[in-house]
Every structure is written in C-alpha cells, then in structure tokens.
A and B are shown apart, each in its own frame.
Chain A
Amino acid sequence: MPGSLVNTDSLLAVDVGTVTTRAALFDVVEGFYRFIASGHAPTTAAAPFKDLSEGVRQAIENLQIVTRRKFLGEDLRLIMPANEGKGVDTFAATLSAGPAVKTVVVGLLDDVSLESTLRLARTVYTRVVDTIGLNDKRKPEQQIDSLLRLQPDLILFAGGTDNGATRSVEHLMETIGLACYLLPAEKRPALLFAGNAKLAEKIKSGLQPLTSSLSVSPNLRPNLETEDLQPAQHALTKLYTQIRRGQMNGVDELNTWAGDTLMPTACAEGRIIRFLSQVYDSRKGILGVDLGASAATVAAAFGGELTLGVYPQLGLGEGLANLLRYTSLEEILKWIPLDISAEAVQSYLHQKSIYPTSLPATPEDLAIEQALARQILSVALNSVAKDFPRRVRHASPGLTPYFEPILAGGSVITRAPALGQSLLILLDAIQPVGITTIILDQNNLLPALGAAASRNSILPVQVLESGAFLGLATVVAPYVNAQLGTPVLHGRLVYQNGNESRLDIKLGALEVLPLPVGQSGRLYLQPLHHADVGFGPGQTRDSGIPVTGTALGVVIDARGRPLRFPTDAERRRAIIKKWLWTLGG
C-alpha cells in the first residue's frame, strides 16, 4: 500500500508522456538521495492499446533490467514497500498523455474573474473552447446550445468577489445547469467552482447531480485587487486526474499506486520550480521550460510565487499541424541555418503531426525541429510573461526578466546531438538577460521531484545537488542600447589556479570562456556604454562573480536583446552557423 515518503528510502516515479513513459528510481546512497536510473517505453494510452498500464509496466521492466532490481511482482503489481531487495518504498506518478481537456470558462467580468479563470485554465493541459461571461452578447439559450454542441470535459466557473455579486453568478449557474441537464449522463462535464464563496453550497447542491464531478475551491478573486490561483490550481489538479480516470484506461491503477497523488506533469514541474525559488536567490526568478509532444510548459517563480503556462497547442506532436495559428512560417524559417523552403517546413509540420513519435534522421529535419523548438518556446514564454508579477526585475520592459537558474527539459533540447545546439536553442528562444546558469534536465527528473516534493522536501534538494542535472553553461547576456560592433564588455575569468582568460566583447558577439565541470573561478566584468549585466546600467560587482564549471563554461551572449537577424537570408544562415560553431554545435 502506498505510504508516506517521509522516513522512507526509495522512490519510483513514473511520468506518462504523450510519446514516452519514463520510470525513474531514486534511492539513498551513502546517506543522500540520488537518482539511480531510469527505464523508458512507448506510451500506450492511445490506440491500439488504449490503456497506459502496458507502457508503465514496460518502462518499469526496462528499469528492472538496468538496475537488476525487481519492482513488479509475478502478478505485475508494484511491490511496495520494498522487501528483501525487491520493490520500492514509495511511488509517485505524473501524466501529460492524452488530448487537451476540452474546457469552457465561465465568469463575470472579462478583466477580472474571466481573466483569472483563463489563467487558471492555462495551468493544466486544457483547450479552452468557449468563454461565457457578463459581456457575452449571446442569449442564455444560445450559451446552452454552445455547451451542448461543444460537450466540454470541464467547466471552470468563477465570478463574484466574496460577499459580492450573487445574482449574476446564479444566472450563469442556471445556464450551466440547464445545459448539463440536457447532456447525456455519460457526456456531462466536470466542474470547478472558484467564485463567490457565499454561493459554494448553492453550487454544490444545484450542480453536483448534473456534473460528472464537482469541486469547489476558495474564490480565485476574493476581492477585485487580489488574485489567488493556488487553491483553485490544487483543486483543478485533482479534477484533471478525475477527468483522465474517466477518459483513459490505466489511470486509476496508476493513481492507486501513487496513493491518490497522481498529478499533471506540468503541475509537478511548476511545483518544483516554485519550491526552488524559495530556496535560491529571491531577487531573481527561477525559470523552467519543457517542450514535449503534448505541450510547451513554462514555469517561472519569483520568491515562491509561481506563474505556470501550459500550452497544449504548442506541443511538438499532433498540435504542429495547427502551429501556424500561433506563429508564422517566416518566424520559424528565420532560425534555420540551412536553405530550406517554406513548403518543406509546412510539410514537416503536417508530417510530424501525423507521426508525433518519429525522430529527425536528416540534418534538414533536425534543423527544422530545432527551429520549431526555438519559435515555440519563444511564443510560450511571451505568452506566459504577460502573467508575471509586476514586481519582477527586467533590464528593460519587454525583455526576459532576470532568471537564475534556467532549467530546461524536453528531448528536442536535452537530446540534441551537441550540447552547443541545446544551449543555442535556449539562448535564442529565451534570450536571457544578465547572468544566469542554464541547467539541462536530461533524465526528465523535474516532474518526479515535483511530485515527491510535497511529501519529502529533502529528496528534491539532495537530488538537484547530486549532479543528476547537467550544468550546461553560465551565461552572461548584457543589455545595451548601442550599434552592432560597439565594445560593450571587458571580461576576465580568473581560474582557481590563478590563470586568467580575457575577452573584449563587442555588441553582436557570442563568445565562450571554457570552465570545465569540477573547476571554479571568478568572473570580473566591466560593462561599457552603460551595458547592463544584471547589476544596473554600467554597474558591476568589483569583487567578481563566483562561477562553477559547466559543460560549456562561461558563455558571453552579446548578440543583443532582442535578437536581430540580417535581412539577407544567406547572411542570416551564415551567422547562425557561426553561432553554432562557436558553441561547438
């Protein structure tokens, strides 16, 4: 039976993605939690299996082969707790497989409850198909017909501050209730109410019998000035699992193994990013990005406050066929260092959408895939940035806020043929400003750590410090308003042994100062022309900045913010090739 992670040892964490199911084992080695190994298998949630259990079992069996330790009994059930070298003490699971949850958002005012509810919808894998609010010009019966036609899986319903409006919310409740009543019982949606607390009981009694599952959480807008998504997010996470249990075979069993703590992968990632932001330097944010087949996820946390954006429409899988609704071919083409036609890119989008599990085998396909990764991450980040708290620090409005560190996941990034390619994808897409460390989650551990964090706060910290993640580079990205070619920075890296490397950086340059893993040094920066490296225009830290070794060392990205490309296609391709060459990609 599932038990608490506290005072126990091993943890087996399974993440069921759209393409791959991963099983990761964590155990105590010499008194510290360590990532031991992982096993992978294709996800079997879709046809022909239509049951994700098979993929989960295969992933665990592959882990058994790697670790020579048995986790599944003869009856294919999880052995828990561990006994005589078999099994595992605790189990955690996360899930991102499956089509986005079809969602209707209902609230009162566009810029108050509706806006907050839409933000709430973006914290899990949802696709908002309609919004109903006070400014909706449709008659109630037209709203009912819309709900009947769309047959949503989920209704997110908010509105009214606590002790505020009730009548308008009640009218909306009637509309929802009538639509749900008219839907066949097996097609009734789940509903989350996060509005005026005064109406909670009324909503429960009125809508409970008409929905597949109903959850009431504290008001996400308790007053006009305050937005508090966290309780509603927690309830939504539970409801999401509930919806998936009804939609996908095998979710029930997985949730049982996980002691009823199965959660959406993105929420687990968000949770660990928030957790880390409480541990790290609170003056900067922590950024986590993940690009998978099911969605692009951006989690940014500032002093414990999380902004999470989950974009199923921006996944690198089936959603690609519709990607051009959110960006343009030109924006994708600009990242490609090879001479590839727009039609070839368009064909790629559709072919990959048909075969989301397939991999780029040719240099041309890889170039397109990596260009898509850049553009998708850029679109996702720009979208989520609108929801960042106002107090976050930027070098200039419109630029990426200061982050330290930036964690990146998703095989298009972490499994790129060269680490320089991984880094350039991230630098291009995120365009960080100031000084930051880029870390790769090569083993897709963030969801597992997030799923475990609420029950065992030691495990994520110890695993993060154990070297299970790859420190990719320390990046220095100055922001300056100057002409290309203007000197903007003198850099001096003093190694532990007293040796020095020096660089004079001009605007437009991308340079590397090697500092291998295991070494450390001190970086002295002298900004010129009021360049800002995170300390303010022209400011620096005279005592230098301590830096530790990473796979690619210290990378000075002085290409300018925002990045600008030559208009001539040939020159543009040449410059991208040069950047790749500089980073060893």
Chain B
Amino acid sequence: MLAPVVHILPLTTIRRERLLPVPGRIAVHVDQRVNSLDVVAEAHFGEEHLLVDVARTLGVRADAAQNLIQVKAGDLISQGDVIARRAGLVPRIIRAPCSGQAILIGAGQVLMEIGETRFELRAGIPGTVTRQISDRGVEITFNGALVQGVWGNGQMNIGLMLPMLSSPEEPLAARQLDVSLRGAVLLASYCNDPAALQTAGELPVRGIILGSMSPALIPQALQARYPIILVDGFGQRPLNSAAYQLLTTNAKCETTLNAVPLDRQTGVRPEIFIPLQVTQEAPLPREVETLAPEQPVRLRRDPHAGAIGTLISLRPGLTIMPSGLRVAAAEVRLDSGEQVLAPLANLEVLW
C-alpha cells in the first residue's frame, strides 16, 4: 500500500523552487548562498484600481467620450492631471483624483492602477541558489537536517534553537520564559498555556517548535508575529521521539522555521531547517513509499498518535481494531518497546 512520507532527517539535500505569483525581477544569482529571510525575487503590481467613467461624467456617449480622453494606456498620471476635456462655452475637465498609471482605455472609461504593492519573495529555505527560473524565481538547494511539521502559523524566522524540555513530554509554560530567551527559537513538547505564547511574543522569541498544541490556542498562534510549527498535531501529545532526538542534538544551532500552512495538494508543509556544512551532498529524500516491514513509521492517530516505531509486519486481510472497524493493519514496535496494531491508513513512513 502506498504510504505518505514525512521527513525527519539528520542530513539530507532538499531542492525547492521559489516562484513569484506574477513575473518580476530575480534578485540573486546562481551559486549565491542565501538564508531563508533573504529576498530572492520581487515583483511590483498595482495595489488597487480606479475606473474613471468619462462618458457618464461628461454626459456623452461612450464613442464620443473616447475622443475627449487625453491620456493613453501606459501613461503615468499625477494627481490633478487632465484625464479628459470637453470643449465648449463651459469647458468641462476631468482630473485624476490621485496618481497612478492608465492601464486600459475603452468604452469611454479610463482604468487606472493606483498605489503600488511590492511583493518580496523570500528564500524560505537556507541554501545555495542552484537555478534561476526566468522572471519567476529560483531553485534553492539546502543541505542539513530537516524536520517536517503538520501545522504552521504562516510566519518565518531564524534563530538559535534552545530546547525548553528535558524530556519529550515537558510542556511549555510562561514561567519558563525570561529575557535570556529573546531572539531564540524555542523547542518544547506541547503548549496549552495562552500566557506562554503571549510572553514569547513579548520577549520576543524568533519561533517556537512544538510537538502539539491545544486547538484553543489556534487564534492566538495565528496572530503571533513569530513562527510556530507543530510537528505532530493538536492536543497534548509529546514531541515525537525522532524529532526530539534530532532537534535536541542540534541545540543552539541556527535554525530556520518556515511555518507555512500545510497544503496537501501541492505538498507544501511547515519545515524546520538546520543547515550543516557538507563535503558531499546527501541523497535527496524519497517522497513516495510502499509500506513494508522494517520501515520506520509514525502513528498519526490515537491511541499512539505521534509515536515512532518500526513496522514489523503487514497483517493479511482485515483486522478488527478496538473501535470495531475492520481495516488493513500492521504490527508496529514502538520506540518504547511496546508492540501495537495500527491501521495502515494511520501510518506514515519516516524518511
């Protein structure tokens, strides 16, 4: 059976395309090293539009209005510039109410683009630019440790990672947070304390990595100006043992949190990057697996949600679970040594 794959890798190579939503300018060159916050490309587009209805304002037909319009598509217009003029005993003039650019003229109307939005595309991943994609973006190659999460609050930042836990079960509490943590990326097991997120924002920290979080904190987490990544999901689940081991091993390393929301369609997911110096590139991780014995797996649902183990065997036929459901299942030996049954649908391969 095909299985989803999640990456918790001490050393890997990742290649990612970073693309602008519209054509723009690329700001970096091939072989340039970038950190995740660097702008790699930018685009400019109008913030909003203004429709000047010359025909209606001057009380003429659309075709007649065309002859009265004084600007062309592409013209830059300053506030007060004449847009249209009607001669006569009492001349009437339409002036631009604000500055902008005429982008379309027709049917006795002028469509202006006003204001300007500058869109900056950040690298999102630390690494080396390995390819430019004409007008649209770049490919960046990363070498180092990677932990993929399941939920992110949309923010991104870099900082030194400081574990706030002595075991994978230890929750994050406000009383643990003091000024010495300013600018750090915090690693904790779970959080159900709104004050902890509040205090973290006030310090401020550069990010928080959690195994899980109470869903009641979602609105607050989405308001936070620092990235929050959940590695295992929602509830009060300890940080999974594989992520705990990898992240605590890399304590005090520079860590990038790209807390983009999970998108199953595109495969975009929140990620934690710890760049490492390598003399030779590690292999690219596999994205597709078929469930088989000896694979490291993570259980995705209760009663062992987040637990890491090794797939021992795939059960033939269907197995009745404690819920009563008959499902294709596997035997899994958890890292704790316990052997459990799990529906195949609740497993993902750790790679």
- A residues apposed to B, CB below 8 Å: 41-42, 44-50, 58, 98-99, 139-142, 144-145, 148, 174, 178, 181-182, 184, 318, 343-344, 346-347, 349-351, 354-366, 415, 417-418
Segment 81-112 of B: residues with Cβ below 8 Å from A: 103-104, 107, 111
Whether a CB of chain A sits under 8 angstroms from the CB of B234 is yes
Residue of A nearest to B112 (CB): A141
B172 contacts which chain A residues (CB < 8 A)?
Answer: none
Least Cβ–Cβ distance between A416 and chain B, in angstroms: 8
Are B22 and A184 in touch, CB under 8 angstroms? yes
B346 contacts which chain A residues (CB < 8 A)?
Answer: 355, 358-359, 361
Whether a CB of chain A sits under 8 angstroms from the CB of B262 is yes
CA distance A451 to B300 in the complex (A): 35
Whether a CB of chain A sits under 8 angstroms from the CB of B151 is yes
Are A354 and B151 in touch, CB under 8 angstroms? yes
Known contacts A343-B216, A417-B324; is-contact A364 B302 (Cβ 8 Å): yes
Number of A-B contacts (CB under 8 A): 134
Known contacts A144-B51, A350-B215; is-contact A355 B324 (Cβ 8 Å): no
Identify which of A48, A144, A182, A350 contacts B288 (C-beta below 8 A).
Answer: A48
Are A46 and B267 in touch, CB under 8 angstroms? yes
A357 contacts which chain B residues (CB < 8 A)?
Answer: 4, 345
A350 contacts which chain B residues (CB < 8 A)?
Answer: 151, 215, 218, 233-234
Whether a CB of chain A sits under 8 angstroms from the CB of B2 is yes
Identify which of A141, A363, A366 contacts B50 (C-beta below 8 A).
Answer: A141
Identify which of B2, B266, B288, B323 contacts A361 (C-beta below 8 A).
Answer: B323
Question: Count of chain B residues with Cβ under 8 Å from any Cβ of A?
Answer: 47
Identify which of A346, A354, A360 contacts B262 (C-beta below 8 A).
Answer: A354
Least Cβ–Cβ distance between A332 and chain B, in angstroms: 13
Are A318 and B264 in touch, CB under 8 angstroms? yes
Whether a CB of chain A sits under 8 angstroms from the CB of B342 is yes
Known contacts A46-B264, A48-B5, A358-B300; is-contact A141 B49 (Cβ 8 Å): yes
Are A415 and B303 in touch, CB under 8 angstroms? no
B104 contacts which chain A residues (CB < 8 A)?
Answer: 178, 181-182
Are B111 and A349 in touch, CB under 8 angstroms? no
Are A417 and B103 in touch, CB under 8 angstroms? no
Are B305 and A351 in touch, CB under 8 angstroms? yes
Are A363 and B301 in touch, CB under 8 angstroms? no
7 closest A-B pairs by CB:
A47-B267, A417-B324, A48-B287, A366-B323, A347-B235, A350-B234, A141-B51
Are A363 and B323 in touch, CB under 8 angstroms? yes
Known contacts A358-B346, A361-B346; is-contact A42 B322 (Cβ 8 Å): no
CA distance A50 to B268 in the complex (A): 12
Identify which of B51, B267, B302 contacts A48 (C-beta below 8 A).
Answer: B267
Are B301 and A360 in touch, CB under 8 angstroms? yes
B111 contacts which chain A residues (CB < 8 A)?
Answer: 141, 144, 178
CA distance A349 to B233 in the complex (A): 11
Identify which of A139, A184, A358, A361 contacts B51 (C-beta below 8 A).
Answer: A139
CA distance A41 to B22 in the complex (A): 37
Are B342 and A99 in touch, CB under 8 angstroms? no
A42 contacts which chain B residues (CB < 8 A)?
Answer: 1-2
B107 contacts which chain A residues (CB < 8 A)?
Answer: 174
Whether a CB of chain A sits under 8 angstroms from the CB of B166 is no
Whether a CB of chain A sits under 8 angstroms from the CB of B130 is no
Whether a CB of chain A sits under 8 angstroms from the CB of B184 is no
Are B345 and A358 in touch, CB under 8 angstroms? yes
CA distance A123 to B168 in the complex (A): 48
Bitwise interface map of B from 314 to 331 toward A, beta carbon under 8 Å scored 1, else 0? 000000111111110000
Whether a CB of chain A sits under 8 angstroms from the CB of B127 is no
A355 contacts which chain B residues (CB < 8 A)?
Answer: 233, 300-301, 346
Identify which of A174, A354, A415, A417 contacts B233 (C-beta below 8 A).
Answer: A354
CA distance A330 to B122 in the complex (A): 43
Known contacts A141-B111, A178-B111, A418-B324; is-contact A361 B302 (Cβ 8 Å): yes
Least Cβ–Cβ distance between B296 and chain A, in angstroms: 18
Least Cβ–Cβ distance between A168 and chain B, in angstroms: 14
Could you list 17 further interchain pairs (A-B, Cβ under 8 angstroms) beyond the known A354-B150, A359-B346?
Answer: A41-B2, A42-B2, A45-B265, A46-B265, A47-B267, A50-B266, A145-B48, A178-B111, A184-B22, A351-B233, A351-B300, A355-B233, A355-B346, A361-B323, A361-B343, A363-B322, A365-B301
Are A417 and B323 in touch, CB under 8 angstroms? yes
CA distance A49 to B265 in the complex (A): 9
Segment 274-328 of B: residues with Cβ below 8 Å from A: 287-288, 300-303, 305, 320-327
B325 contacts which chain A residues (CB < 8 A)?
Answer: 359-361, 366, 415, 417
Whether a CB of chain A sits under 8 angstroms from the CB of B214 is yes
Known contacts A42-B1, A48-B287, A354-B150; is-contact A362 B49 (Cβ 8 Å): no
Are B234 and A347 in touch, CB under 8 angstroms? yes
A49 contacts which chain B residues (CB < 8 A)?
Answer: 288
Least Cβ–Cβ distance between A362 and chain B, in angstroms: 5
A-B contact pairs, 12 of them (CB 8 A): A48-B267, A98-B265, A141-B49, A181-B104, A343-B216, A347-B214, A347-B235, A349-B215, A358-B346, A362-B322, A363-B324, A418-B324
Least Cβ–Cβ distance between B106 and chain A, in angstroms: 9
Segment 139-191 of B: residues with Cβ below 8 Å from A: 150-151
B22 contacts which chain A residues (CB < 8 A)?
Answer: 184
Are A365 and B323 in touch, CB under 8 angstroms? yes
Least Cβ–Cβ distance between B19 and chain A, in angstroms: 12
Segment 187-244 of B: residues with Cβ below 8 Å from A: 214-216, 218, 233-235
CA distance A141 to B48 in the complex (A): 8
CA distance A46 to B265 in the complex (A): 4
B342 contacts which chain A residues (CB < 8 A)?
Answer: 361
Residue of A nearest to B235 (CB): A347
CA distance A139 to B321 in the complex (A): 58
B262 contacts which chain A residues (CB < 8 A)?
Answer: 354
Are B303 and A362 in touch, CB under 8 angstroms? yes
B266 contacts which chain A residues (CB < 8 A)?
Answer: 47, 50
Least Cβ–Cβ distance between B222 and chain A, in angstroms: 12
A344 contacts which chain B residues (CB < 8 A)?
Answer: 235
Residue of A nearest to B111 (CB): A178
Are A145 and B323 in touch, CB under 8 angstroms? no
Least Cβ–Cβ distance between B83 and chain A, in angstroms: 14
Identify which of A142, A351, A356 contacts B234 (C-beta below 8 A).
Answer: A351
Least Cβ–Cβ distance between A351 and chain B, in angstroms: 5
Residue of A nearest to B269 (CB): A47
Residue of A47, A58, A98, A99 with most chain B CB atoms under a 10 A cut-off: A47
Least Cβ–Cβ distance between B219 and chain A, in angstroms: 12
A178 contacts which chain B residues (CB < 8 A)?
Answer: 51, 104, 111
CA distance A354 to B213 in the complex (A): 13
B233 contacts which chain A residues (CB < 8 A)?
Answer: 347, 350-351, 354-355
CA distance A163 to B34 in the complex (A): 62
CA distance A294 to B126 in the complex (A): 35
